[in-house]
Structure 1
Amino acid sequence: MSELIRSTGYTGYTAGSANAASAAGAATAAAASDAELLAGTVAAVEAAGSVLRERFGDVVRHRTREELMNALAANDEAALDVLRPRLNNLRPGAGWVEEELEGGALPAGEWWVVDPAEGNVNHLHGLPEWAVTATLVRENQPVLTAVHLPLTGETYTALAGGGAHVDGRPLRVSETTDLGLALVATSQARPDEAEAVTRRIGSSITAMLLDALVVRTSVPATLHLLNVAAGRIDAFWQFAGARADLLPGALLVVEAGGRISDAEGRPWTTDSESLLAAAPGVHSDAVATLSR
């Protein structure tokens, strides 16, 4: 997937020409259309969240991996039964991705990248850290996203070039400039992740424990990323596969004024082996720590 650049606004037009005026008009119309799409996306994730909230509460311990996988799938399908028709109705021609992705570009056109129950294991264990997410990707660029937290009722949104918000209130990353005063976070490797990745995560946590104020480790990644966008966490990094399911949080951080790169400071793509999302004031120090 192509680079998620720092600025996601419209570019490439020369002021004063007829073509520029036409292009600017088209851009304005597209922005208005995307804003309407975002409103519909919010309604979809909130409706799906209501279904998952009704299924939340009792903690059931599963005796086998098969039982656990069946329970996870049941949650996914319950939410997807609400999400699919609503999102397909919003954009009938868009493709559909509802699995965690490895790297790589999507085919041309528009795609819904959806996680119907992000943090699904937390949901089954009676923990509050889970969400419903939907992101529209156009020509391999995320253009809008909605992340709904059913237990708090909050919905985080971002529109490319239009900022990031929670329930209509603007989000802004922190102004922290000292990594030694920063609260940072990471997630863990999946059960099937390579041992080398798991060990790299462990060494990066050790490095951050030496340099940062507080280090948090939990899943899912999107909840850390929306906290970066809201200024509550100063940096988040991940080595456990920089997959396209990171797009919702990445767009939120970019639109809230944060910086996105890989852990070595290079431009991030979903082919990257890592992701770093940080407030601008601590980004370079976080890169230095993670590169040791």
Structure 2
Amino acid sequence: MTRDKNDALLTETIRAVEAAGNTLLARFGTTPRPATLADLLAGIQANDRAVEGALRDALLAALPGSRWAEDEEAEGALPAGDWWVADPAEGNVNHLHGRPGWAVTATLVRDGEPVLTVISVPLTGETYSAITGRGAFVNGRPLEVSAKRDIAAAIVASGQARPGEARPIRAAMIRSAERLLDTTLLVRLSVPSMLELIDVAAGRLDSFWQHGSVRAGLMGGALLVREAGGDVTDLRGHRWAVGSPDFLAAPPALQPAILAALSSNMETLA
């Protein structure tokens, strides 16, 4: 695809994602806080229904021949071709509880690689975007990962890929957090992963790692961090791909030390 076509597609994607974000913003704080799990699940479904249809139609129209990845909680590689991987309410739980930390995201995956991403954060009025080889931006301003080199000064984060993770993944999460509590300045555990990766790309957070590979929460953030100058690998140091079992994003100067701190946890998933 030519540069002009990429620019036009990015413009259309931004328009679609921001429109979806405005729909979600209009719903923010309009319903009682969920009191039960059933309330929460119903609210999640209602938010998704309010946003997803229009977002899907706009993105598919913007790139004829592209396809829509239906399950935002899915893992693993996608078939060849152009696929939209989107989350119409990233951080839905936060939205329903009246908290910040939610967004609308859409990432174009071409033959297994994220090549374009847009993330709208309506509460702050920020739109993050990246195209492969063109840099990462927020509202048109370039992003750059942290310049830190000392792991002892690092602020790092992780979170659940999904509720109800398998026991080996839960065990690895706990051990990883313990290891980094010993070696970094601060460790935070939060969801959703996309909002944490935005902070890594913007240099507000030094690193993010995750066990598990729900792709909708990682793919756009991986592209954003890479285009902001960061390294994105699995927890063995191999280049992260859609089917990788775990994830690490960090500035190049910090990545080896963080990998070393996490390496003793890999046997829990062997």
With normalisation by structure 1, the TM-score equals: 0.86
**Which residue, out of 146, 150, 159, partners 1:174?**
146
**CA distance 1:244–1:119, change in 2 (3 Å):** closer
**CA distance 1:130–1:87, change in 2 (3 Å):** same
Q: Is the 8 A contact 1:44 1:83 kept in 2?
A: yes
**Which residue, out of 125, 132, 153, partners 1:160?**
132
Aligned to 1:282: 254
Aligned to 2:267: none
Q: Is the 8 A contact 2:213 2:245 kept in 1?
A: yes
Aligned to 1:132: 104
**Which residue, out of 51, 54, 62, partners 1:79?**
51
Letter aligned with residue 204 of structure 1: S
Aligned to 1:262: 234
> Runs in 1 of length 4+ with deviation above 6 angstroms?
none
Aligned to 2:79: 107
Aligned residues: 264
**CA distance 1:109–1:226, change in 2 (3 Å):** same
**Tell me, what secondary structure is at the counterpart of 2:253?**
helix
CA-CA distance at 1:189 after TM superposition: 4.8
CA RMSD for the aligned pairs? 1.5
Aligned to 1:7: none
Aligned to 2:268: none
CA-CA distance at 1:32 after TM superposition: 2.1
Letter aligned with residue 54 of structure 1: A
CA-CA distance at 1:98 after TM superposition: 4.0
Q: Is the 8 A contact 1:189 1:197 kept in 2?
A: no
**CA distance 1:122–1:244, change in 2 (3 Å):** closer
Distance 1:168 1:142 in 2: 20
**CA distance 1:220–1:112, change in 2 (3 Å):** same
> 1:82-101 CA deviation, whole Å, 9 max, x = no partner?
31221122013111014224
> More deviation in 47-56 or 77-86?
77-86
**CA distance 1:220–1:172, change in 2 (3 Å):** same
Distance 1:291 1:163 in 2: 30
> 1:160-180 CA deviation, whole Å, 9 max, x = no partner?
111100000000111110010
Aligned to 2:10: 38
Q: Is the 8 A contact 2:87 2:216 kept in 1?
A: no
CA-CA distance at 1:242 after TM superposition: 5.0
Residue 204 (1) aligns with residue 161 (2): no
Distance 1:59 1:287 in 2: 43
- 5+ residue gaps, structure 1, are 1-28
Aligned to 1:10: none
CA-CA distance at 1:45 after TM superposition: 0.7
Aligned to 1:225: 197
CA-CA distance at 1:108 after TM superposition: 1.7
Letter aligned with residue 131 of structure 1: A
**Tell me, what secondary structure is at the counterpart of 1:281?**
coil
Aligned to 1:96: 68
Q: Is the 8 A contact 2:232 2:248 kept in 1?
A: yes
Q: Identity rate of aligned residues, in percent?
A: 50
Q: Is the 8 A contact 2:161 2:193 kept in 1?
A: no
**Which residue, out of 173, 190, 195, partners 2:162?**
190
CA-CA distance at 1:264 after TM superposition: 1.9
With normalisation by structure 2, the TM-score equals: 0.93
CA-CA distance at 1:63 after TM superposition: 4.4
Aligned to 2:218: 246
